[in-house]
Structure 1
Amino acid sequence: MASDPPLPSVIEQFDSVESLTRFVGRPAIVSQSVVIDQEMIDRFAQLTRDSQWIHVDPARAMAESPYGHTIAHGFLVLSLLTYWQASCIAFPRAAMLLNYGFDRIRFTAPVLSGSRVAARFALAQVAKTRSGEARCSWNVTVQAEDAPRPSVHADWQIMVRYEE
């Protein structure tokens, strides 16, 4: 698998519910990129038992796919959100981070095997649920380098609980 560049030295830090609230509406935070190569796609296919040819058969994909390549599973791309988030966002003092789910996910363009892909995280809303705890709504866009349009649009909900 291709090696990824080192993590950026500047990571946006949110050490309280108040710091999250102040960030709502600010420009998106851009993640580290990762190469989604055929080895990663094949391992994901094996793990999830989703071996559809468009993902795992490069010769057939070259001949029959409208993309001329194998493509990453949408769920593979989606599963990388936690990596991308950790590469550009930190929650010091957080006692817990919890994936609360998605309000909307759209797979809008394929990720071709071998693509370098990154995500953008825009904090849309912070709802305080109790003292030191909030549900954050992130608008996430995933895009392959040099691709004409994003591959994924998602509204991701994350619960954050800070130490009191």
Structure 2
Amino acid sequence: MIIIKNYGEFESYLGKELGTSGWHTVTQEQINEFAHATIDHQWIHTDPERAAIESPFKATIAHGYLMVSLLPYFWHQIADVQNLKMQINYGIEGLRFSQPVIVNSQVRLKARLAAIVNLRGVTKATIGVEMEIDGQKKPAYVGEVVFLYHFLD
């Protein structure tokens, strides 16, 4: 894990890999809880018996947005951004889903600092992300997330 305490330290990583999170197993329970929270109960996610018969994947798959919602969990395993007044999720750019995540797959996040700008004392960091699926050549998704960091000094 890297530790970042100010804009200068953050900027030193421009164009570099920031790290890779640990693996996380996506369970049917997690998929079902996400379905309840988002009111998205499509059978391909929540009905293992039907998915085994009718799905081309022969199992349920995680919601794409569940995988996106795991970004903060993984990001905090990669970088510890300290000395903050606050952090704001600013946006997601160019996100593309490449491959579904089948239930019980393991996923992890790779991150790199794609861009960084000082906006009158607010750090705008664009982080290139790729969610890997264990044993798969193609990632679940690739894109860029943008955070605003308000450092104390």
Partner of 1:54: 44
1:16-55 aligned at under 5 Å gives the runs 16-55=6-45
Tell me, in whole angstroms, the C-alpha distance in 2 between the residues paired with 1:28 and 1:14: 11
Answer whether contact 1:84 1:119 (CA < 8 A) is retained.
yes
Residue in structure 2 matched with residue 83 of structure 1 by the alignment: 73
In structure 2, C-alpha distance between the alignment counterparts of 1:50 and 1:103, rounded to whole Å? 23
Q: Which runs of 5+ in 2 are unaligned?
A: none
TM-score under structure 1 normalisation?
A: 0.90
Runs of 4+, deviation exceeding 6 Å: none
Q: What letter matches 1:152 in structure 2?
A: Y
Amino acid at match of 2:47: D
**Counterpart for residue 3 of structure 1:** none
For the residues of structure 1 that align with 2:50 and 2:44, how far apart are their CA atoms?
8
Structure 1 residue 28, shift from structure 2 partner: 4.1
2:107 aligned residue: 117
Equivalent position of 2:57 in the other structure? 67
**Partner of residue 2 from structure 2, selected from 12, 18, 33:** 12
Moved more, 145-154 or 38-47: 145-154
- Kindly indicate whether residue 84 of structure 2 is the aligned counterpart of residue 94 of structure 1: yes
Partner of 2:126: 137
CA distance in 2, matches of 1:103, 1:85: 16
Q: Tell me the C-alpha RMSD between the 2 structures.
A: 0.9
Distance apart, 1:116 and its partner CA: 1.1
What is the percent sequence identity of the aligned residues? Answer: 29
Give the AA of the match of 1:66: P
1: distance between equivalents of 2:144 and 2:77? 19
Letter in 1 for 2:78: C
Deviations 1:92-127 (A, max 9, x none): 112211100112211110000001110011101001
Residue ranges of structure 1 left out of the alignment (5+ in a row): 1-10
Q: Structure 2 length normalisation: TM-score?
A: 0.96
Letter of the 1:148 partner, please give it. K
Per the alignment, in what secondary structure is the counterpart of residue 23 of structure 1? coil
